[in-house]
Structure 1
C-alpha cells in the first residue's frame, strides 16, 4: 500500500543561523529537553531517544509540541514555506 503525508503546518528554524530562536525552543532548553553546546550543536530528547542537531540543521516543532532535528536537504524535500 502507498500513503501520502497529511498536509500539516509545522514550526521550524535553522539552528544558529536564524537570528532569533523561538520561544518554544527556549522553553525546551529551560526544561533540559534541549541542551545547547559550545561547539555549535545541541542535543534534543525526542520520542525516539536523544538526537544531535548540528549548526545549520532545522529544529522542527511537531504537531504535539515535540522537537526534533532535520538536515537541510531533507527539510527542503519535505516542506514548503507557508505564507502567513
Structure 2
C-alpha cells in the first residue's frame, strides 16, 4: 500500500461557539440550513447533505467552496493558523524633492503629483 501526504492548502474556517450565530450565518451564506438553540447546534448544508455542527466544532470551507464540520481535536491536529500576509504597497517618488508616497493600490501615471510633476513609481 502506498502512503500519501496531504497537500498544504490554506482553508477558511470558523469555530461555532454557540454564541456566534450571525458570524456563522455570514460565513456559510446560502449553506446555512438551521439553528437548534436548545442544543446549541446549527445545521449546515454540505455536499453530502445537511450536517449538525455542535458547539465548539469548526465549520471548514473547502477548496471547492464546500462546507463541512470538523471536531476541535481533529481540527487542532490537522490545521494551524496562518499569519495574514502584509497587503502589497506601492511607492511613488517625486523627481524634484525625492518625497515618497505609499499607496495600497497602483496609481496611473499622472494621478499623483508633486511640484506639478507626475510622481514616478519606485522599483
TM-score class normalised by the smaller sequence: 0.7 to 0.9
Cα 1:36–1:12 shift into 2, 3 Å? same
TM-score (norm 2): 0.57
Which structure has more relative contact order (CA 8 Å, sep 6+)? It is 1
Once the two structures are superposed, what CA deviation does each residue of 1:29-65 show, in whole Å capped at 9, x if it has no partner?
Answer: 5xxx432221210112212232211011101111111
Root-mean-square deviation over aligned CA pairs: 2.0
Residue 82 (structure 1) shift: 0.3
2:11 alignment counterpart: 10
User: SS in structure 1 opposite 2:23?
Assistant: coil
1:38 alignment counterpart: 37
Among candidates 16, 19, 24, match of residue 27 of structure 2: 24
1:72 alignment counterpart: 72
Distance of 2:62 and 2:14 partners within structure 1: 12
**Further displaced range: 12-21 or 64-73:** 12-21
Aligned residues: 80
Q: Report the structure, 1 or 2, having the larger strand content.
A: 2
**Further displaced range: 39-48 or 74-83:** 39-48
Tell me, which stretches of 5 or more residues in structure 1 are unaligned? Answer: none
Tell me, which stretches of 5 or more residues in structure 2 are unaligned? Answer: 85-123
Displaced runs of 4 or more, over 4 A: 17-20
Distance of 2:48 and 2:18 partners within structure 1: 25
TM-score (norm 1): 0.79
